[in-house]
Structure 1
């Protein structure tokens, strides 16, 4: 005779076990996959942060290779010039351009560094002036409230003691970082030479690594589009930034700012950093203008000139020249600049937009991450939606 209790227990086990398995699959089936993706992203960005001294020169060399590869390919196909020869000419030209730029700007930069205490003193005077006005306003409020201002002052011993902390100067910090900068620059130039001298080797390996013909075609299309669009974007932005630097330098020269060449070069470099670069540039111009002109009103004149030039460039020139295809979501651009600046510092801010452009082009071809490309894109206009 069978035990009815055991029968019911077996039936419950038969029914409950698949149900538990179904619930686990529905609730936690995608859990391991997303957990693995999350762990991978954490490790990936952690590696980017920890290995920045190695990865940054590699990324910079790759970006320059994307810009210069069409030139090498053109010289090979039209003029029959061997790729290593073109690579040597381009790399040596880039090095000479860097050295010439540093040589031309060395004297104005040294003058600004020498006058840095004067600039700091001018800022401190303005801060003290604002503080004294606030103190007078506070005393006036106390007088209106009926408080006695003739009360004895606090003893001198109760006043907080001023503590002066000696920190390394700007020149000392620059001197300590110079060997690392030179090593990274040399590594990037050597790696750039090998990338340019290899010609179409990357595309050949990319084709061989794909299994099907459709994958080979799509991989080549993605690689060519990223190279073409990114090189076009970087070349165009460089020309726009150079024009902005000339405009800023001439405008500040007209209002009597010293060393306008430095401010023009500074505007050219800082404009690679959207939004934040213009703010930093205006702040530097305002501080130096305050020391040179003496009053806050006069110091705002060069700041207004800088703001006018960057506004015209950002609102009219760049959208008209770059075009709608590579326009970006402003919020996404700001997040990208902030994120890569957090990961790689100032250099990451310069690389944020080119990396964002690459991700956007790549996402436009890969369906699973197409929403990411849509998020990075600029707002679609109504007439474009109808088309």
Structure 2
């Protein structure tokens, strides 16, 4: 019998089983899947050119054939030129033999200095002190006659090995010559055929893929978004990679030409092409001309200039061009690209390294739109997986106040202080309250979290409150709007009240925050002494809502004419019932965020603020 527990366990194991099955298929079916993946990559790259030809009036099939043939002719021509240049370079290497020998001798026996002379002197002294070896005793004449002759006579105990080599026929010669080429040529042919048919039937293939996904009750809009997202990311990656490679390969060729490296254009072209292979490609592109720079001269200047050229261009490409052009083109994190390169290389070899980024982009898109594969987007994507409030709360749970402050500072670079309070600090306090009520937060951590947030609020208040103050002067005989903030239950409610007090303009409002720990009667006495124009009750769900309703009833009964505002900070779910209960208890307004609270306080105290601004004393002062 299948129980709910067994269903849960199976649902947790099924993604792992699915992943193992997919990896096994990718490994054992690589002879078919590698040409298919290469053809898909070429289809993404060539599709824009075919669309352009179709707009110019070409039919689909001629446009595809022209673009594909030109592409593979270009690839074949580049391969032929590169092979020819390499053969020519190999034939010219004997001319550089003397330079290579000199540099090897210098590396093996560097020019001697004072230390080398001292070392040589010590060796000579050691040889003089060493005992004279005893000469070997002469062998008897009989032993010498028994020994085998040095010329033409072999030892009877060591027979000479004989190997029969059959004559090489023409078929065997052709097989030995063309055999290693048949595999790559066959793969290239399959890639060409796949690419042509994918480009000719791309709309039909797209429709069939959509229909295949919809069989599993997929949604048409989600499927379309996923396909478009994957196509845009891969196409943009290939385009940006081509631009980056061009801005790298052209300076390489020009720089090597002025340094004096032979075949500089060849090395620039290879540098442009090899950068399509992540991580390994740039090293191979740099190794070949650096090796050649050692051979062409009897001094080290070309080698130094060549290494400096590649180092400077790599720094510019990695730190300027790639961040500027890539942006979020792939949607992959740097660590995901590195892991993907290792994984696909292990799975498919060198071709897997070339296809690593495009294939991983497709996996990340699947994880973004398919709920069962969401873990792929979490592992591979470049978007933050934790919201700012969760990151802030997690740092506090780890007792890491410095990193928590870093989260706040990073958020304040783009957002104002009020949004920081509403979107980060209050939700973090709400998470702490939930953990406390679930008994998942010990007392020490709870105290650390509250004290850290209190210190942070005070520090932000010192930095931002003076900047928020205006230039209004208090007119004689007039007063500012008096606001009293009551914490509904505990310290968390008081902290949110202090956030609100900071955000209210000090030149328009006189704000007092009553601390926690007072009895209800003492709170009412404080209100009576302060004579506020409005009372704001700060209540952080889930525990403070009931206490906020009780305070509303007591305040309304004692002060019938007083304006009462209740803040249910960061309340989630169906809040309408809680708002109705609080209004029934005597609240005039119920708000959910600090920005709403500020707006309601301004509206409720608008007559008082208007009286301050229009007072005769203030008008005379402005004149």
Choose from 205, 208, 227 the match for 2:211.
Answer: 208
Distance 2:274 2:20 in 1: 35
Distance 1:343 1:122 in 2: 42
Q: Aligned runs of 1:189-208 on 2, under 5 Å?
A: 189-208=192-211
Distance 2:193 2:23 in 1: 31
Give the CA deviation at 1:379: 7.4
Alpha-carbon spacing, 1:316–1:377, altered in 2? closer, same or farther (3 Å): farther
Match of 2:398 in 1: none
Alpha-carbon spacing, 1:182–1:146, altered in 2? closer, same or farther (3 Å): same
Distance 1:289 1:141 in 2: 33
Distance 2:377 2:127 in 1: 65
Match of 2:33 in 1: 55
Match of 1:10 in 2: none
Question: Contact conserved, 1:91 with 1:193, CA < 8 A, in 2?
Answer: yes
Match of 2:61 in 1: 84
Distance 1:191 1:301 in 2: 45
Alpha-carbon spacing, 1:334–1:145, altered in 2? closer, same or farther (3 Å): farther
Choose from 312, 315, 320 the match for 2:319.
Answer: 315
**More helix by percentage:** 1
Whether 2:340 is the aligned partner of 1:336: answer yes
Which protein has greater RCO, CA pairs closer than 8 Å, 6+ apart? 1
Residue segments in structure 2 that go unaligned for 5+ positions in a row: 134-174, 385-406, 416-623
Distance 1:72 1:269 in 2: 22
Give the CA deviation at 1:182: 2.1
Alpha-carbon spacing, 1:68–1:281, altered in 2? closer, same or farther (3 Å): closer
Question: Contact conserved, 1:66 with 1:227, CA < 8 A, in 2?
Answer: yes
For the pair shown, the structure with the greater C-alpha radius of gyration is 2
Choose from 179, 182, 192 the match for 1:179.
Answer: 182
Question: Contact conserved, 1:83 with 1:198, CA < 8 A, in 2?
Answer: no
Distance 1:200 1:181 in 2: 30
Q: Aligned runs of 1:261-272 on 2, under 5 Å?
A: 261-272=265-276
Count the aligned residue pairs: 347
Give the CA deviation at 1:286: 1.7
Indicate the RMSD between aligned Cα atoms, in angstroms: 4.2
Distance 1:135 1:70 in 2: 64
Question: Contact conserved, 2:39 with 2:191, CA < 8 A, in 1?
Answer: yes
TM, length-normalised to structure 2: 0.48
TM, length-normalised to structure 1: 0.74
Question: For 2:126, what is the secondary structure of its paired residue?
Answer: coil
Match of 1:289 in 2: 293
Question: For 2:296, what is the secondary structure of its paired residue?
Answer: helix
Match of 2:25 in 1: 44
Question: For 1:148, what is the secondary structure of its paired residue?
Answer: helix
Distance 1:152 1:288 in 2: 49
Alpha-carbon spacing, 1:110–1:148, altered in 2? closer, same or farther (3 Å): same
Question: Contact conserved, 2:234 with 2:330, CA < 8 A, in 1?
Answer: no
User: Cα deviation per residue 1:76-116 (whole Å; 9 max; x = unaligned)?
Assistant: 5x456432222111111112212332344343222223245
User: Cα deviation per residue 1:351-376 (whole Å; 9 max; x = unaligned)?
Assistant: 11222222223322223433432433
Distance 2:186 2:378 in 1: 39
Alpha-carbon spacing, 1:246–1:175, altered in 2? closer, same or farther (3 Å): farther
Alpha-carbon spacing, 1:252–1:272, altered in 2? closer, same or farther (3 Å): same
Residue segments in structure 1 that go unaligned for 5+ positions in a row: 1-17, 155-171
Alpha-carbon spacing, 1:123–1:65, altered in 2? closer, same or farther (3 Å): same
Which deviates more from structure 2 when the two are superposed, residues 305-314 or residues 96-105?
A: 96-105
Question: For 2:369, what is the secondary structure of its paired residue?
Answer: coil
Match of 2:494 in 1: none
Match of 1:110 in 2: 87
User: Cα deviation per residue 1:241-288 (whole Å; 9 max; x = unaligned)?
Assistant: 123111110011111111001110111122112332222222222211
Whether 2:126 is the aligned partner of 1:148: answer yes
